[in-house]
Chain A
Amino acid sequence: MAVSAPAPAGARRPRLQTLLGEQPIGYLFVAPFVIFLIAIYAYPFFYSIYMSFYDYFFAAPGAVVDRPFVGLANYTRAVQDPLFHIALRNVVIFLLINVPVTVVVAMVLATALNAAIPLRSFFRAAYYVPYVTASVAAVSIWLWLFGGPGLVNKVSGPLAPNPTWLVNAFWVMPIIALYVTWKGLGLYILLYLAALQNIAKELYEAASVDGAGRIRSFLVVTVPGLRPATLLVVITSVITGANLFTEPYLLTGGGGPDNQSVSPVFLLYRQGIEQNHPGYAAAMGLLLVLGVLIVSAINRFVLERE
């Protein structure tokens, strides 16, 4: 601690300070966090690169086993795996439903909330409740609503699909996408609400001088002003779609029907842990990280072009 004591003008130890900075005790303060980041993020990341080149499998602790180097075999296997294709297709389906619904509903509700209206904090809290709820609990409600004997089938009567929603190959991904959209929407409403505060009032005044009505000024001022928030929706949607686990595991009973609702992370779990091919799962995981990085880069590019 003595190191951090302030040095009154002209003290004798400026050399250490020019080398390490004014408060070297900062190293001590930040050390646990840095160790944590290395142990939980950096090291596992590099370890998974290592695993992905081997036919890695679990063995009893301490047992010496031969885990042969297989080069790119895990990667070529992933690229050719029809289940991995379904998982990626499901991310696309998820994206196509999640993004438009989130953007439209969150924009409308945030704009409506962005005024001196009664019950403002009630609405804000209400929209946020699904977001803070455990996914296992929220999935339970949707299981009950959309299950065979559930309320949705009772209400929709003859319009209900056969087989029922969660075991219907066509409906299963749209239902998952709607569920996740419902659960996460509160966050985006608040994000849009915050973004609305950053749109300069002058823009609206200019628009109204130019004769723009309420709807026109929404389209020419509000929508472009919210663009950064909208791009954030796109990128988180890709990440969320790739990371779905509770939904295919619980809501559709293990990626069913007939693997039509598998997600990439669900496949990682099944291959890497259930079926003891962590090397293969690591390769799939790294392909996904690459995909996420590419999407982020595109996102960045579009954002900075503005």
Chain B
Amino acid sequence: MATVTATEPTVAARPEPAQTPEQGEHGWLRWVRLIPLFIGALVFILPFYYMVVSALQKDPNPNISGAFPNPNKLSLDNLVNINNAISLPRTLLNSGLFTGGVLLATLVFGVLAGYALAQLHFRGRQVVFYTMILLLVMPFQLLIIPLYVLIARNFGLADTLLGMILPFAINPTAVFIFRQFFLQLPKDMFEAARIDGASELTILTRVVLPLTRPAILTALLITFIGPWNEFLWPFLITKKLSLQPLAVALANFISTSAQRGPNPYGAILAGATVLAVPVIILFLIFQRRFVESSIGSAVKG
């Protein structure tokens, strides 16, 4: 699923001139437009606000008044409770190692592949490219059984970091984005560098990468979200508590929470907040970059 849809942020990266058929409309219409937009924003964002305020209440109040707690009564008890149950530093470290391994492999091998697919001429290049496109449509989850049999059983990589990283190691969507951006670079630039005697690796690291930093960042952000949020695969491969990423440890906490007393939601929501916040912050920082670059290119014409 993620592989199919994650190409989108490149769309967002493109400048979007606000050219519409309705340009130059009356002032009141502009405000009418804002109503559905505001309702939409509330529906999308309020649950996250509710998550945070509920997590900060020692015994989360499910009534409407629970959404507006007395600021003096907020506490970090739930954070302490979830930390006692699933050790946040350790699970966060595991999430970080899993995500970091994927990012590193995608950055090194994905950039190389993207460059070769975009700017190097060799026999079979089109075959590799179209195979990649074909595979992007194939939902990864449907391969989960054979992958599990191969990686966990046949290769004995259950409960290892390597086993966790392998299926995600090189994000094909990122390779696709790298290729699209490297394609846009002027051909003459490569010819000139080659005539100067630069090797392809030098061209890639000294010329191409500095010019395509935003594309690299976009692709890496998309790649980051994948393993950080992934649940099914690490859930299958890690039975040892000491290796579980936060998403898996929290899910196990939730599925056994019925035995944890009447109101386990405070601790669950505290864990959910810790899991969600890093990605949301990264996204918001990145979103601003997008907007700035859109405005910048719009101004330049």
Contacts and interface: CB of A to CB of B under 8 A. Distances in A.
Contacts of B120: 21-23, 25-26, 29
A140 B153 contact: no
Interface in B131-157: 131-132, 135, 137-139, 141-150, 153-154, 156
Interface in A110-126: 112-126
Contacts of A137: 51, 247, 250, 271-273, 275-276
Given A125-B284, A145-B50, A278-B149, A6 B142 contact: no
B22 interface: yes
Contacts of B30: 115, 117
Nearest to A251: B254
Interface in B38-87: 40-41, 43-45, 47-48, 50-51, 54, 60, 62-64, 66-67
5 contacts: A4-B200, A109-B37, A123-B41, A243-B1, A249-B255
Residue of B41, B43, B137, B154 most packed against chain A (CB within 10 A): B41
B232 A273 contact: no
A32 interface: yes
A149 interface: yes
A29 B116 contact: yes
B34 A117 contact: yes
Contacts of B187: none
Given A26-B116, A44-B147, A117-B33, 11 more contacts: A36-B109, A37-B172, A128-B283, A129-B45, A129-B48, A134-B231, A138-B276, A145-B50, A151-B63, A154-B63, A197-B16
B112 A44 contact: no
B301 interface: no
Interface string A136-156: 111111111101011101110
A20 B154 CA distance: 36
A136 B199 contact: no
A109 to B, nearest CB: 5
A73 interface: no
B122 A144 contact: no
A96 interface: no
B123 interface: yes
Contact of B139 (A4, A112, A208, A239): A239
A254 B254 CA distance: 12
A32 B276 CA distance: 32
A112 B112 contact: no
B265 to A, nearest CB: 5
